């Protein structure tokens, strides 16, 4: 169990850092950065990784039952919409708050979805999980309050601050988080078959995580590709790819793509190592670790430099509640062991 928890924490650390390189790109509009990112992370990286690392790749996916394809495909498509909204929320409300609200919503809903496939645990385990998630919910509300206070503080010093931008960003983050819980369900639905098929083909245990990510990322990438092709044309941003900074931007965005994909694969492996309720507990630990990392990154990059002490107080309260909540959820997993 300890190994699974450590993998889940490390996966969250990687995911929490994935969007940081975006702050250092130059001459790219939002549409340029994120269209290239989604192309790399949803198609290029997982296709290369899957074909290279999975023995019997064709047989494993060629023989996968239709109902599993449908379950994984539909829920991954919703996850893709959610992740796309996440990137928009970050632009509205910043890295730290965008992550905390989006991921907090995912923790609350996504941690419970695997029970649809796996069945409910014993009552004492379920009670402990629900208590932990309730504490996380308090943290989400505190982070939302921190964001609203930060907007007021920044508006006093910067007249350019949009009056409804923070509320809009919070709504985008929460709705996107609800849709993105499809990832958790897709992982729970596809893992049993893919693990058995991968092992039968002679692959190492960790390769199952790569196999699970393949249909999830490709299905999720469809909606993002369509959206950003339209956005690049609408905003007339195609020409912005022609910049002396393209090479540097490409490397930064490739790092984002590898971190994003790698974090998801690490989570899938962590969920396996955690055993019973691994998808639930691992998902909560993974995402909370991500939030902590993202908030710290946002503080380091001075997103909260203009925020008042009161706003920062709510931010730290929210962060503390999420950490405490996840400790309770981890304890719940020990009860199930």
Structural contact between residues 126 and 194, judged by C-beta atoms closer than 8 angstroms: no
Using CA atoms, how far residue 87 sits from 33, 83, 128, 308, in Å, is 10, 6, 32, 26
Distance CA 24, CA 227 (A): 24
**pLDDT category of residue 163 using cuts at 50, 70 and 90:** very low
pLDDT in tens, 182-238: 888 898 889 899 999 999 999 988 898 899 999 999 999 888 888 888 889 988 999
Judge contact between 322 and 291, C-beta under 8 A: yes
pLDDT bucket at 161, cuts 50 / 70 / 90 = very low
Per-residue model confidence (pLDDT) at position 160: 47
CA distance readout (Å), 166 to 79, 161, 316: 23, 9, 19
Q: Which of 111-115, 226-230, 237-241, 289-293 has the lowest mean pLDDT?
A: 111-115
Distance (Å, whole) CA 55 – CA 84: 31
Q: 61-73, pLDDT tens digit by residue?
A: 999 999 999 999 9
Q: What does the DSSP assignment read for 220-285?
A: HHHHHHHHHHHHHHHTT-GGGG-STTHHHHHHHHHHHHHHHHHHHHHHHHHHHHT-TTHHHHHHHH
Q: Examine the pLDDT at 326 and tell me if it is beyond 90.
A: no
Instruction: Give the whole-angstrom CA distance, residue 137 versus residue 147.
Output: 16
User: What residues contact 177, with CB distance under 8 A and at least 6 apart?
Assistant: 82, 86, 101, 102, 103, 104, 105, 106, 109
Neighbouring CB atoms inside 10 A of 126's CB total: 18
Residue 92 confidence (pLDDT) above 80: no
21-33: per-residue pLDDT in tens? Answer: 888 999 998 889 9
Cα–chain center distance at 274: 19
Q: Nearest to residue 34, comparing CAs of 261, 259, 256? A: 256
Say if residues 267 and 14 touch (Cβ distance below 8 Å). no
**Any idea how long the chain is?**
337
Give the mean pLDDT of 159-167.
55
The pLDDT, as a whole number, for residue 162 is 45
Sign of CA dihedral 248, 249, 251, 255: positive
Q: Which of 286, 297, 255 is nearest to 95 (CA)?
A: 297
Average pLDDT of the chain is 83
Tens of pLDDT along 248-280? 999 999 999 999 898 888 887 887 777 665 666
> Residue 194: its pLDDT value, please?
94
């Amino acid at each position: 169990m300890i190994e699974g928890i450590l993998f889940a924490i490390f996966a969250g650390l990687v995911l929490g850092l994935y969007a940081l390189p975006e702050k250092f790109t130059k001459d790219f509009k939002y549409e340029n950065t994120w269209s290239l990112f989604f192309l790399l992370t949803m198609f290029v990286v997982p296709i290369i990784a899957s074909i290279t690392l999975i023995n019997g790749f064709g047989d494993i996916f060629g023989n996968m039952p239709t109902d599993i394809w449908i379950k994984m495909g539909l829920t991954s498509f919703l996850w893709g919409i959610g992740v796309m909204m996440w990137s928009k929320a970050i632009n509205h409300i910043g890295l730290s708050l965008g992550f905390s609200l989006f991921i907090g919503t995912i923790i609350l809903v996504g941690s419970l979805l695997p029970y649809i496939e796996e069945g409910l645990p014993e009552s004492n385990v379920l009670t402990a999980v629900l208590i932990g998630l309730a504490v996380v919910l308090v943290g989400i509300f505190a982070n939302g309050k921190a964001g609203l206070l930060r907007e007021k503080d920044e508006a006093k010093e910067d007249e350019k601050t949009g009056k409804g931008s923070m509320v809009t960003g919070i709504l985008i983050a929460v709705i996107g988080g609800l849709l993105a819980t499809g990832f958790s369900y897709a992982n729970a639905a596809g893992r049993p078959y893919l693990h058995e098929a991968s092992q039968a083909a002679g692959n190492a245990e960790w390769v199952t995580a790569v196999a699970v990510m393949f249909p999830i990322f490709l299905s999720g990438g469809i909606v993002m590709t369509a959206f950003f092709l339209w956005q690049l044309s609408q905003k007339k941003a195609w020409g912005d790819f022609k910049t002396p900074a393209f090479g540097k931007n490409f490397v930064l965005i490739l790092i984002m793509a590898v971190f994003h994909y790698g974090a998801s694969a690490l989570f899938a492996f962590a969920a396996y190592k955690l055993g019973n309720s691994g998808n639930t507990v691992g998902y909560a630990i993974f995402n909370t670790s991500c939030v902590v990392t993202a908030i710290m990154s946002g503080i380091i990059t001075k997103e909260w430099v203009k925020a008042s002490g009161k706003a920062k107080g709510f931010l730290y309260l929210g962060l503390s509640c999420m950490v405490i909540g996840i400790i309770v959820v981890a304890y719940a997993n020990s009860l199930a062991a």
